[in-house]
Chain A
Amino acid sequence: AEAPVAAFERRVLRSAAPHHYLRVRLELPDGGARPNAAQFKQLVVSALRELHGEVGAALPVDLLTYEEKTLSAILRVISSGLVKLWSALTLLGFYQNRRCAFRVLQTSPFLLALSGNSRELVL
Protein backbone atom coordinates (compact mmCIF):
# COMPACT_ATOMS: atom_id res chain seq x y z
CA ALA A 1 0.00 0.00 0.00
CA GLU A 2 1.30 3.43 -0.79
CA ALA A 3 1.52 6.14 1.77
CA PRO A 4 -1.21 8.69 1.37
CA VAL A 5 -0.07 11.75 -0.46
CA ALA A 6 -0.09 14.66 1.92
CA ALA A 7 -1.84 17.59 0.44
CA PHE A 8 -0.83 20.92 1.69
CA GLU A 9 -0.52 24.35 0.38
CA ARG A 10 2.41 26.57 1.13
CA ARG A 11 2.15 30.32 1.11
CA VAL A 12 5.15 32.58 1.43
CA LEU A 13 4.32 36.14 2.35
CA ARG A 14 6.91 38.86 2.37
CA SER A 15 6.12 41.70 4.74
CA ALA A 16 2.46 40.96 4.65
CA ALA A 17 1.54 43.05 7.64
CA PRO A 18 -0.11 46.24 6.42
CA HIS A 19 0.68 48.30 9.50
CA HIS A 20 3.66 48.82 11.75
CA TYR A 21 3.25 49.63 15.42
CA LEU A 22 5.63 51.81 17.43
CA ARG A 23 5.74 52.27 21.17
CA VAL A 24 7.29 55.66 21.85
CA ARG A 25 7.95 57.83 24.86
CA LEU A 26 8.34 61.58 24.83
CA GLU A 27 10.91 62.92 27.21
CA LEU A 28 10.19 66.38 28.54
CA PRO A 29 12.53 66.99 31.43
CA ASP A 30 11.29 70.38 32.50
CA GLY A 31 8.19 70.27 34.64
CA GLY A 32 5.89 72.14 32.34
CA ALA A 33 2.41 71.34 31.12
CA ARG A 34 2.11 67.88 29.63
CA PRO A 35 0.48 67.47 26.24
CA ASN A 36 -2.83 65.66 26.10
CA ALA A 37 -3.71 63.14 23.40
CA ALA A 38 -4.76 65.67 20.78
CA GLN A 39 -1.67 67.77 21.31
CA PHE A 40 0.52 64.69 21.10
CA LYS A 41 -1.00 63.75 17.76
CA GLN A 42 -0.52 67.32 16.61
CA LEU A 43 3.13 67.11 17.63
CA VAL A 44 3.66 63.92 15.62
CA VAL A 45 2.01 65.41 12.54
CA SER A 46 4.04 68.61 12.83
CA ALA A 47 7.25 66.58 13.11
CA LEU A 48 6.32 64.78 9.90
CA ARG A 49 5.53 68.08 8.22
CA GLU A 50 8.87 69.61 9.25
CA LEU A 51 10.90 66.80 7.83
CA HIS A 52 8.85 65.39 4.96
CA GLY A 53 6.54 68.26 4.07
CA GLU A 54 2.86 68.11 3.28
CA VAL A 55 3.14 64.61 1.83
CA GLY A 56 4.66 63.42 5.08
CA ALA A 57 2.05 65.16 7.18
CA ALA A 58 -0.62 63.38 5.17
CA LEU A 59 0.75 59.98 6.15
CA PRO A 60 -2.00 58.00 7.91
CA VAL A 61 -0.79 57.77 11.51
CA ASP A 62 -3.08 56.63 14.31
CA LEU A 63 -2.57 57.13 18.01
CA LEU A 64 -3.83 53.93 19.57
CA THR A 65 -3.12 54.52 23.24
CA TYR A 66 -1.71 57.43 25.14
CA GLU A 67 -0.75 57.76 28.79
CA GLU A 68 -0.37 61.33 29.90
CA LYS A 69 1.40 60.41 33.09
CA THR A 70 4.34 58.70 31.46
CA LEU A 71 3.98 60.42 28.07
CA SER A 72 4.16 57.08 26.29
CA ALA A 73 2.04 56.11 23.33
CA ILE A 74 1.47 53.43 20.73
CA LEU A 75 1.33 54.65 17.15
CA ARG A 76 0.18 52.79 14.08
CA VAL A 77 1.43 53.63 10.62
CA ILE A 78 1.26 52.09 7.17
CA SER A 79 4.29 49.84 6.60
CA SER A 80 5.60 51.89 3.73
CA GLY A 81 5.62 54.98 5.90
CA LEU A 82 7.59 53.53 8.81
CA VAL A 83 10.96 55.01 7.79
CA LYS A 84 9.43 58.46 7.34
CA LEU A 85 7.65 58.43 10.67
CA TRP A 86 10.59 57.03 12.58
CA SER A 87 13.07 59.51 11.12
CA ALA A 88 10.68 62.41 11.76
CA LEU A 89 10.34 61.38 15.41
CA THR A 90 14.10 60.98 15.75
CA LEU A 91 14.90 64.43 14.42
CA LEU A 92 12.33 66.30 16.48
CA GLY A 93 14.00 68.58 18.98
CA PHE A 94 11.51 71.06 20.34
CA TYR A 95 7.97 71.07 21.64
CA GLN A 96 6.64 74.59 22.19
CA ASN A 97 10.18 75.88 22.49
CA ARG A 98 11.02 73.33 25.11
CA ARG A 99 13.69 70.77 24.47
CA CYS A 100 12.34 67.27 24.11
CA ALA A 101 13.34 63.89 22.75
CA PHE A 102 11.40 60.94 21.42
CA ARG A 103 12.58 57.53 22.54
CA VAL A 104 11.29 54.67 20.43
CA LEU A 105 11.00 51.75 22.81
CA GLN A 106 9.62 48.98 20.61
CA THR A 107 8.57 48.56 17.03
CA SER A 108 6.90 45.58 15.40
CA PRO A 109 4.53 44.70 12.58
CA PHE A 110 2.34 42.93 15.12
CA LEU A 111 0.60 44.66 17.96
CA LEU A 112 0.86 41.65 20.25
CA ALA A 113 4.64 41.84 20.17
CA LEU A 114 4.55 45.22 21.87
CA SER A 115 3.11 43.78 25.02
CA GLY A 116 6.34 42.27 26.28
CA ASN A 117 9.71 43.96 26.37
CA SER A 118 12.74 41.77 26.94
CA ARG A 119 14.85 44.79 27.80
CA GLU A 120 12.83 45.45 30.91
CA LEU A 121 13.30 41.97 32.24
CA VAL A 122 14.70 41.92 35.72
CA LEU A 123 16.92 38.89 36.00
Chain B
Amino acid sequence: QNILIVCFSVGYSAVALNHVIDFKEKKQEIIKPVSPSELFPSLPIVQGTSKRIKVLTRLTLVVSDPSHCNLLRSTSANIRLYDVIAVYPKTEKLFHIACTTLDVDLVCINVTEKLPFYFRRPPVNMAIDRGIYFELLYTPAIKDSTMRRYTISNAISLMQICKGKNIVISSAAERPLELRGPYDVANLGLLFGLSESEAKAAVSTNCRATMLHGETRKTACGVVYTVKKPRKVEEEEATMPACKKAKTQA
Protein backbone atom coordinates (compact mmCIF):
# COMPACT_ATOMS: atom_id res chain seq x y z
CA GLN B 1 0.00 0.00 0.00
CA ASN B 2 2.92 2.32 0.69
CA ILE B 3 4.18 1.69 -2.81
CA LEU B 4 0.93 2.92 -4.26
CA ILE B 5 1.04 6.08 -2.23
CA VAL B 6 4.53 6.80 -3.53
CA CYS B 7 3.34 6.08 -7.08
CA PHE B 8 0.68 8.68 -6.81
CA SER B 9 3.00 11.29 -5.39
CA VAL B 10 5.59 10.74 -8.09
CA GLY B 11 3.12 11.34 -10.86
CA TYR B 12 1.72 8.17 -12.36
CA SER B 13 -1.88 8.17 -13.49
CA ALA B 14 -2.50 4.42 -13.71
CA VAL B 15 -0.90 1.55 -11.80
CA ALA B 16 -1.23 -2.21 -12.30
CA LEU B 17 -0.67 -4.67 -9.46
CA ASN B 18 1.06 -7.80 -10.61
CA HIS B 19 0.48 -11.37 -9.54
CA VAL B 20 2.98 -13.95 -10.77
CA ILE B 21 2.11 -17.59 -11.37
CA ASP B 22 4.92 -20.07 -11.88
CA PHE B 23 4.03 -23.41 -13.32
CA LYS B 24 7.03 -25.34 -12.13
CA GLU B 25 5.49 -25.92 -8.76
CA LYS B 26 2.95 -28.61 -8.49
CA LYS B 27 -0.38 -27.18 -7.69
CA GLN B 28 -1.11 -23.71 -8.87
CA GLU B 29 -4.50 -22.22 -8.82
CA ILE B 30 -5.34 -18.83 -10.06
CA ILE B 31 -6.74 -16.93 -7.16
CA LYS B 32 -8.96 -13.96 -7.36
CA PRO B 33 -7.12 -10.69 -7.65
CA VAL B 34 -7.12 -8.24 -4.80
CA SER B 35 -9.71 -5.66 -5.56
CA PRO B 36 -8.29 -2.13 -5.55
CA SER B 37 -11.20 -0.78 -3.59
CA GLU B 38 -10.09 -2.81 -0.61
CA LEU B 39 -6.79 -0.99 -0.48
CA PHE B 40 -8.03 2.53 -0.91
CA PRO B 41 -11.55 3.64 -0.16
CA SER B 42 -11.18 6.60 -2.49
CA LEU B 43 -8.38 7.07 -4.94
CA PRO B 44 -6.68 10.45 -5.18
CA ILE B 45 -7.05 12.60 -8.25
CA VAL B 46 -4.38 12.80 -10.92
CA GLN B 47 -2.50 16.05 -10.71
CA GLY B 48 -3.60 18.44 -13.39
CA THR B 49 -6.75 16.63 -14.50
CA SER B 50 -9.95 15.82 -12.72
CA LYS B 51 -9.91 12.07 -13.15
CA ARG B 52 -9.02 9.58 -10.48
CA ILE B 53 -5.97 7.37 -10.62
CA LYS B 54 -6.70 3.92 -12.01
CA VAL B 55 -5.47 0.83 -10.23
CA LEU B 56 -5.61 -2.29 -12.37
CA THR B 57 -4.79 -5.90 -11.70
CA ARG B 58 -2.45 -7.93 -13.80
CA LEU B 59 -1.44 -11.55 -14.08
CA THR B 60 1.95 -12.85 -15.21
CA LEU B 61 2.30 -16.47 -16.27
CA VAL B 62 5.77 -17.96 -16.21
CA VAL B 63 5.62 -20.64 -18.89
CA SER B 64 8.34 -23.17 -19.54
CA ASP B 65 6.20 -25.84 -21.19
CA PRO B 66 3.59 -25.67 -23.95
CA SER B 67 1.04 -27.44 -21.78
CA HIS B 68 0.97 -24.48 -19.42
CA CYS B 69 -0.62 -22.38 -22.14
CA ASN B 70 -3.77 -24.46 -21.98
CA LEU B 71 -4.72 -22.48 -18.95
CA LEU B 72 -5.23 -19.43 -21.10
CA ARG B 73 -7.67 -21.19 -23.33
CA SER B 74 -9.65 -22.69 -20.50
CA THR B 75 -12.60 -20.66 -19.42
CA SER B 76 -11.56 -20.42 -15.83
CA ALA B 77 -13.59 -17.67 -14.28
CA ASN B 78 -10.70 -16.17 -12.35
CA ILE B 79 -8.62 -15.34 -15.39
CA ARG B 80 -11.30 -13.05 -16.64
CA LEU B 81 -11.12 -10.97 -13.51
CA TYR B 82 -7.65 -9.69 -14.35
CA ASP B 83 -7.38 -6.59 -16.49
CA VAL B 84 -4.06 -7.30 -18.18
CA ILE B 85 -2.48 -10.67 -18.87
CA ALA B 86 1.23 -11.10 -19.46
CA VAL B 87 3.25 -14.14 -20.37
CA TYR B 88 6.90 -14.81 -19.61
CA PRO B 89 8.26 -17.35 -22.08
CA LYS B 90 11.36 -19.28 -21.17
CA THR B 91 12.19 -20.98 -24.45
CA GLU B 92 12.32 -19.92 -28.06
CA LYS B 93 9.40 -22.08 -29.07
CA LEU B 94 7.23 -20.59 -26.36
CA PHE B 95 8.28 -17.09 -27.40
CA HIS B 96 7.14 -17.90 -30.93
CA ILE B 97 3.84 -19.29 -29.69
CA ALA B 98 3.27 -16.32 -27.42
CA CYS B 99 3.88 -13.82 -30.20
CA THR B 100 1.75 -15.54 -32.80
CA THR B 101 -1.17 -17.36 -31.25
CA LEU B 102 -1.58 -16.74 -27.53
CA ASP B 103 -4.23 -14.36 -26.38
CA VAL B 104 -2.18 -12.08 -24.15
CA ASP B 105 -1.44 -8.38 -23.90
CA LEU B 106 2.23 -8.34 -22.91
CA VAL B 107 5.24 -10.54 -23.47
CA CYS B 108 7.80 -10.13 -20.70
CA ILE B 109 11.44 -10.16 -21.62
CA ASN B 110 13.82 -11.61 -19.09
CA VAL B 111 16.29 -9.07 -17.76
CA THR B 112 17.90 -10.98 -14.93
CA GLU B 113 19.93 -13.48 -16.90
CA LYS B 114 21.37 -13.99 -20.33
CA LEU B 115 18.64 -14.83 -22.80
CA PRO B 116 18.70 -18.51 -23.76
CA PHE B 117 17.42 -17.68 -27.23
CA TYR B 118 17.95 -15.00 -29.81
CA PHE B 119 15.11 -12.87 -31.07
CA ARG B 120 14.12 -13.49 -34.63
CA ARG B 121 12.33 -11.05 -36.84
CA PRO B 122 9.22 -13.02 -38.01
CA PRO B 123 7.60 -13.64 -34.60
CA VAL B 124 8.44 -10.14 -33.41
CA ASN B 125 6.84 -8.58 -36.48
CA MET B 126 3.76 -10.73 -36.07
CA ALA B 127 3.46 -9.65 -32.45
CA ILE B 128 3.70 -5.99 -33.48
CA ASP B 129 0.92 -6.51 -36.03
CA ARG B 130 -1.28 -8.18 -33.45
CA GLY B 131 -0.83 -5.36 -30.97
CA ILE B 132 1.20 -7.21 -28.38
CA TYR B 133 3.78 -5.24 -26.45
CA PHE B 134 7.16 -6.31 -25.11
CA GLU B 135 7.88 -5.49 -21.52
CA LEU B 136 11.18 -4.62 -19.89
CA LEU B 137 11.72 -4.30 -16.17
CA TYR B 138 14.04 -1.76 -14.60
CA THR B 139 14.02 -2.60 -10.90
CA PRO B 140 16.64 -5.37 -11.10
CA ALA B 141 18.97 -2.76 -12.57
CA ILE B 142 18.69 -0.76 -9.38
CA LYS B 143 19.47 -3.65 -7.12
CA ASP B 144 22.45 -5.38 -8.64
CA SER B 145 25.20 -4.43 -11.03
CA THR B 146 25.31 -7.78 -12.86
CA MET B 147 21.64 -7.50 -13.58
CA ARG B 148 22.25 -4.00 -14.90
CA ARG B 149 24.47 -5.43 -17.61
CA TYR B 150 21.95 -8.10 -18.53
CA THR B 151 19.10 -5.59 -18.61
CA ILE B 152 20.93 -3.28 -20.97
CA SER B 153 22.26 -6.04 -23.21
CA ASN B 154 18.90 -7.78 -23.56
CA ALA B 155 17.17 -4.47 -24.17
CA ILE B 156 19.62 -3.51 -26.89
CA SER B 157 19.25 -6.83 -28.68
CA LEU B 158 15.46 -6.44 -28.56
CA MET B 159 15.73 -2.93 -29.99
CA GLN B 160 17.77 -4.13 -32.90
CA ILE B 161 15.04 -6.51 -33.96
CA CYS B 162 11.92 -4.52 -33.25
CA LYS B 163 13.34 -1.04 -34.00
CA GLY B 164 11.85 0.42 -30.85
CA LYS B 165 8.19 -0.22 -31.55
CA ASN B 166 5.78 -1.71 -29.04
CA ILE B 167 7.96 -1.41 -25.97
CA VAL B 168 6.71 -0.93 -22.45
CA ILE B 169 9.08 -0.26 -19.56
CA SER B 170 7.76 -1.14 -16.14
CA SER B 171 9.04 -1.62 -12.65
CA ALA B 172 8.70 -4.73 -10.54
CA ALA B 173 9.06 -2.71 -7.39
CA GLU B 174 8.59 -4.42 -4.08
CA ARG B 175 9.47 -1.44 -1.96
CA PRO B 176 8.51 2.20 -2.36
CA LEU B 177 12.16 3.16 -2.73
CA GLU B 178 12.57 1.09 -5.86
CA LEU B 179 10.13 3.18 -7.81
CA ARG B 180 11.25 5.92 -10.16
CA GLY B 181 9.35 8.80 -11.71
CA PRO B 182 7.95 8.60 -15.24
CA TYR B 183 10.46 10.97 -16.80
CA ASP B 184 13.34 9.09 -15.17
CA VAL B 185 12.09 5.88 -16.71
CA ALA B 186 11.72 7.56 -20.09
CA ASN B 187 15.36 8.61 -19.80
CA LEU B 188 16.29 4.97 -19.19
CA GLY B 189 14.62 4.21 -22.49
CA LEU B 190 17.16 6.51 -24.14
CA LEU B 191 19.91 4.36 -22.61
CA PHE B 192 18.37 1.26 -24.13
CA GLY B 193 18.60 2.76 -27.58
CA LEU B 194 15.15 4.20 -28.14
CA SER B 195 14.66 7.61 -29.67
CA GLU B 196 13.26 10.37 -27.45
CA SER B 197 9.68 10.12 -28.65
CA GLU B 198 9.74 6.32 -28.50
CA ALA B 199 11.11 6.43 -24.97
CA LYS B 200 8.34 8.70 -23.77
CA ALA B 201 5.78 6.57 -25.58
CA ALA B 202 7.14 3.49 -23.80
CA VAL B 203 5.95 4.96 -20.54
CA SER B 204 2.76 6.64 -21.65
CA THR B 205 1.07 5.80 -24.95
CA ASN B 206 2.11 2.18 -25.20
CA CYS B 207 0.97 1.49 -21.65
CA ARG B 208 -2.40 3.02 -22.38
CA ALA B 209 -2.65 0.91 -25.52
CA THR B 210 -1.93 -2.20 -23.45
CA MET B 211 -4.70 -1.30 -21.03
CA LEU B 212 -7.15 -0.87 -23.90
CA HIS B 213 -5.99 -4.13 -25.46
CA GLY B 214 -6.77 -5.86 -22.17
CA GLU B 215 -10.18 -4.24 -22.03
CA THR B 216 -11.08 -5.33 -25.54
CA ARG B 217 -9.87 -8.82 -24.78
CA LYS B 218 -12.11 -8.96 -21.74
CA THR B 219 -15.21 -7.63 -23.38
CA ALA B 220 -15.17 -8.49 -27.06
CA CYS B 221 -16.64 -11.86 -28.07
CA GLY B 222 -17.49 -11.31 -31.68
CA VAL B 223 -17.61 -8.62 -34.28
CA VAL B 224 -20.42 -7.75 -36.67
CA TYR B 225 -19.71 -5.52 -39.60
CA THR B 226 -21.68 -4.50 -42.67
CA VAL B 227 -20.31 -4.32 -46.18
CA LYS B 228 -21.71 -2.05 -48.84
CA LYS B 229 -22.72 -4.06 -51.89
CA PRO B 230 -21.99 -2.29 -55.18
CA ARG B 231 -25.34 -1.28 -56.71
CA LYS B 232 -26.22 -2.68 -60.10
CA VAL B 233 -26.99 0.60 -61.85
CA GLU B 234 -25.57 -0.18 -65.26
CA GLU B 235 -28.09 -2.92 -66.06
CA GLU B 236 -31.10 -0.66 -65.54
CA GLU B 237 -29.71 2.00 -67.77
CA ALA B 238 -28.98 -0.54 -70.41
CA THR B 239 -32.59 -1.77 -70.47
CA MET B 240 -34.16 1.68 -70.87
CA PRO B 241 -32.78 2.65 -74.25
CA ALA B 242 -33.57 -0.82 -75.59
CA CYS B 243 -37.30 -0.29 -74.88
CA LYS B 244 -37.26 3.12 -76.47
CA LYS B 245 -35.65 1.76 -79.53
CA ALA B 246 -38.27 -0.91 -79.81
CA LYS B 247 -41.08 1.70 -79.72
CA THR B 248 -39.61 3.96 -82.34
CA GLN B 249 -38.90 1.07 -84.64
CA ALA B 250 -42.35 -0.21 -84.28
Chain A residues with a Cβ under 8 A of chain B = 27, 29, 50-51, 83, 86-87, 89-93, 99-101, 103-104, 107, 119
> B183 contacts A93, CB within 8 Å?
no
> A87 contacts B181, CB within 8 Å?
no
- Cα A103 to Cα B181 in complex, Å, equals 7
Tell me, rounded to whole Å, the shortest Cβ–Cβ distance linking B35 to chain A.
29
Q: For residues 181 through 197 of chain B, which have their beta carbon under 8 Å from a beta carbon of chain A?
A: 181, 183-185, 187-188, 190-191
Tell me, rounded to whole Å, the shortest Cβ–Cβ distance linking B195 to chain A.
12
> B183 contacts A92, CB within 8 Å?
no
> B47 contacts A87, CB within 8 Å?
no
> B190 contacts A87, CB within 8 Å?
yes
- Cβ of B220 < 8 Å from any Cβ of A? no
Instruction: Give the contacting residue for A86; candidates B10, B138, B187; CB below 8 A.
Output: B187
> A93 contacts B142, CB within 8 Å?
yes
Of A51, A89, A93, the most chain B CB neighbours within 10 A belong to: A93
Q: List 21 A-B contacts (CB under 8 A).
A: A27-B177, A29-B177, A51-B148, A86-B184, A87-B187, A87-B188, A90-B180, A90-B185, A91-B141, A91-B142, A91-B188, A93-B142, A93-B143, A93-B178, A99-B175, A99-B177, A101-B178, A101-B179, A103-B181, A104-B184, A119-B11
For B187, what are the chain A residues with a Cβ–Cβ distance below 8 Å? 83, 86-87, 90
For B145, what are the chain A residues with a Cβ–Cβ distance below 8 Å? 50
**Residues 167-182 of chain B, each 1 if its beta carbon lies under 8 Å from chain A, else 0:** 0000000010111110
> B180 contacts A100, CB within 8 Å?
no
For B11, what are the chain A residues with a Cβ–Cβ distance below 8 Å? 119
> B142 contacts A104, CB within 8 Å?
no
> B177 contacts A103, CB within 8 Å?
no
> B10 contacts A103, CB within 8 Å?
yes
> B188 contacts A119, CB within 8 Å?
no
Instruction: Give the contacting residue for B190; candidates A50, A83, A119; CB below 8 A.
Output: A83
Tell me, rounded to whole Å, the shortest Cβ–Cβ distance linking A37 to chain B.
23
- Cα A91 to Cα B175 in complex, Å, equals 15
Q: For residues 4 through 18 of chain B, which have their beta carbon under 8 Å from a beta carbon of chain A?
A: 10-11
> A104 contacts B183, CB within 8 Å?
yes
**Residues 10-29 of chain B, each 1 if its beta carbon lies under 8 Å from chain A, else 0:** 11000000000000000000
Instruction: Give the contacting residue for A92; candidates B10, B142, B179; CB below 8 A.
Output: B142
Give the nearest-CB partner of B192 in chain A: A87
Give the nearest-CB partner of A107 in chain B: B183
Tell me, rounded to whole Å, the shortest Cβ–Cβ distance linking A69 to chain B.
20
Give the nearest-CB partner of A92 in chain B: B142
> B148 contacts A91, CB within 8 Å?
yes
- Extra A-B contacts (15), CB below 8 Å, given A103-B10, A104-B183: A50-B145, A51-B148, A83-B187, A87-B190, A90-B187, A91-B141, A91-B142, A91-B148, A92-B142, A93-B142, A93-B178, A104-B184, A107-B183, A119-B11, A119-B47
Closest 5 CB pairs of A and B: A93-B142, A90-B184, A101-B177, A86-B187, A87-B191
- Cα A100 to Cα B47 in complex, Å, equals 25
For B184, what are the chain A residues with a Cβ–Cβ distance below 8 Å? 86, 89-90, 104
For A86, what are the chain B residues with a Cβ–Cβ distance below 8 Å? 184, 187
- Cα A90 to Cα B141 in complex, Å, equals 10
For A103, what are the chain B residues with a Cβ–Cβ distance below 8 Å? 10, 181
